[in-house]
Amino acid sequence: MVRREKSNYVIRSVSHAFDVLEQFNGNVDEIGVTELSKRLKLHKNNVFRLLATLEARGYIEQNKITENYRLGLKCLQLGQIFIHQMGLLLQAKSTLKELVKTTKESAFVAIRKGNAIVPLDFLEPVRAVRAVSFLGMALPPHCTAAGKIYLVFETEGGLSRNLPERMEPYTERTISDRQLLLEQMKEISVTGFAVEQGEFNEDISSVAVPVRDYTRMLVGALAIVGPSHRLAAETIAKEIAPAILRAGGDLSKRLGYAG
């Protein structure tokens, strides 16, 4: 019996569907049918049928205002499963438990998705007043500690190039001035951790550190979050920052980072 190459079994329509999904990379949030047709060199009718199929299964969704298409929640769900199986979430579980035990505050690990920071796992302490889970929420990068970690450590080079175009003020403490945020980013690059105190939610503060893997690239942000009255500047400096820096370093080592 002659064994055929697996490439001989490829179903063209399924391959085209994956071609569509792969057009949505880190630089593109939405694409229209005409643009997809040009990129894939497929007729518009074929592209529309592919999009309709993917949309029906939740892998693609349409922006009703622009009529363009973007990735659906099913893609995030699959990504979460992959991350859980392959490293970050699996390794982070024990780190989160230890951080919550040590600091008695909530802890989470997050990644960047498009222009937002998305928590993938969130653990809470057993105490009456605490920061409750915002698992799966899209957090802004400029006024959350985890977001600032991505602004500073995701790419090397000039920090000013990483600043978001729009910095919406969520509270009176939100830094909306680009120069002030840039100065804070420079400090973060030196200390290795980011802090936000009431910038996203006036009653909540957080501290975050980068998580890297064997490629030396940023793969996530590890954060502590709690009520602002408990996470005062002195407490952060003496207790929270040292604890999360150790935890972030240990987690990165378990992911193969040797820096």
Position 259 in a domain: no
CA–CA distance, 191 with 188 (Å, rounded to integer): 5
Note the pTM of the prediction, 2 decimals. 0.67
For residues 119 and 234, membership in a common domain is answered with yes
Query: What six digits make up the tokens of 176?
Result: 């909306």
In the three-class reduction of DSSP (H, G, I as helix; E, B as strand; rest coil), residue 129 is classed as coil
- Return the residue matching tokens 């009431």: 198
CA–CA distance, 155 with 77 (Å, rounded to integer): 26
Contact 225, 106 (CB under 8 A): yes
Position 2 in a domain: no
What Rg, from alpha-carbon coordinates, does the chain have? 21
For residues 153 and 62, membership in a common domain is answered with no
Look up the domain containing 159 and give its range.
Answer: 76-254
For residues 246 and 134, membership in a common domain is answered with yes
For residues 45 and 97, membership in a common domain is answered with no
- Is residue 244 exposed (0-12), middle (13-18) or buried (19+ Cβ within 10 Å)? buried
**CATH number for the domain including 215?**
3.30.450.40
Q: What pLDDT is stored for residue 77 in this prediction?
A: 78
For residues 89 and 199, membership in a common domain is answered with yes
**Percent helix / strand / coil, the chain, rounded to 5:** 45, 20, 40
CA–CA distance, 47 with 40 (Å, rounded to integer): 9
**CATH number for the domain including 27?**
1.10.10.10
Position 5 in a domain: no
**Total count of domains within the chain:** 2
Contact 222, 244 (CB under 8 A): yes
- Write out the chain's pLDDT in tens, 259 residues: 445 666 677 788 888 898 888 888 766 678 999 999 999 899 999 999 999 999 999 999 999 899 999 988 888 778 766 665 557 888 899 999 999 999 999 999 999 888 889 998 888 888 777 776 777 788 999 999 999 999 999 876 556 566 777 788 999 999 988 889 999 999 999 999 999 999 999 999 999 999 998 888 899 999 999 999 899 999 999 999 999 999 999 999 988 888 7
Q: Which residues of 1-12 are buried (b: 16+ CB within 10 A; e: fewer)?
A: eeeeeeeeeeee
Q: What pLDDT is stored for residue 214 in this prediction?
A: 82
For residues 139 and 237, membership in a common domain is answered with yes
CA–CA distance, 204 with 130 (Å, rounded to integer): 9
In the three-class reduction of DSSP (H, G, I as helix; E, B as strand; rest coil), residue 209 is classed as strand
Position 6 in a domain: no
